[in-house]
């Protein structure tokens, strides 16, 4: 399971972390189900998303805006596209990161659930501190995108991206699904994508 998150300038790590907890609960998931928190590089809120992921103990990944712009999403925003260069950050980042996990698992013939992108990891403690996360400070460290170029594997069907897996039963294949679409709270947005096994055509 992957959390996609976006934030505008001035967003705090605390409000992002709270929204991530909300979408996890909506998805019926536990913190240990989360493989990473994904966002866009170079945005005003990127440092706050990184700080929220670190507080929650989740690995963090960031993708270039032009990569996320190639991902079809169920709730595109033309206003966001005009302002940022992509019609979605939270949904696109969640779908793209989950598809990266799936593609890595397929190439390694390993279980997708045990795979992680090449993230900037947080400490997976399995427990959340009782104190709120500190507000994010400007981060001088460069983000670490997984893709330097737009990903041509993006599916044309919004909210679902698939690939054939050699070890699934006949007629079944793993696909990436957006299980919680974009949710907004204050200056933060979040969405949840996960890999599921689909039977039939």
- Of 39 and 131, more confident: 39
Domain 2-199 has CATH 3.30.420.180: yes
39 — pLDDT class (breaks 50, 70, 90) = very high
3-state secondary structure of 30: coil
Provide the mean pLDDT of the chain.
76
Pairing of strands 188-199, 172-185: antiparallel
Per residue in 153-169, pLDDT (tens digit) is 333 334 444 333 444 45
pLDDT at 172: 66
Cα first-last separation, the chain: 23
d(CA 14, CA 152) in angstroms, rounded, equals 35
The percentage of the chain sitting over the pLDDT mark of 70, rounded to a whole number, equals: 66
50 — pLDDT class (breaks 50, 70, 90) = very high
């Amino acid at each position: 399971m992957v959390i996609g998150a976006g934030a505008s300038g001035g967003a705090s790590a605390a409000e992002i972390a709270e929204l991530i907890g909300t979408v996890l609960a909506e998805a019926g998931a536990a913190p240990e189900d989360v493989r990473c928190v994904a966002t866009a590089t170079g945005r005003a809120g990127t440092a706050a998303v990184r700080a929220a992921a670190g507080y929650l103990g989740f690995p963090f990944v960031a993708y270039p805006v032009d990569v996320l712009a190639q991902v079809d999403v169920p709730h595109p925003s033309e206003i966001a596209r005009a302002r940022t260069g992509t019609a979605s950050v939270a949904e696109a980042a969640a779908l793209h990161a989950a598809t990266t996990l799936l593609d890595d698992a397929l190439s390694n013939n390993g279980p997708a659930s045990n795979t992680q992108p090449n993230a900037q990891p947080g400490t997976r403690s399995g427990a959340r501190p009782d104190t709120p996360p500190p507000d994010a400070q400007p981060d001088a460290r460069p983000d670490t995108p997984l893709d330097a170029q737009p990903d041509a594997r993006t599916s044309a069907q919004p909210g679902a991206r698939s690939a054939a897996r050699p070890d699934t039963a006949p007629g079944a294949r793993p696909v990436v699904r957006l299980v919680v679409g974009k949710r907004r709270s204050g200056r933060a947005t979040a969405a949840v994508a996960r890999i599921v096994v689909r039977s039939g055509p």
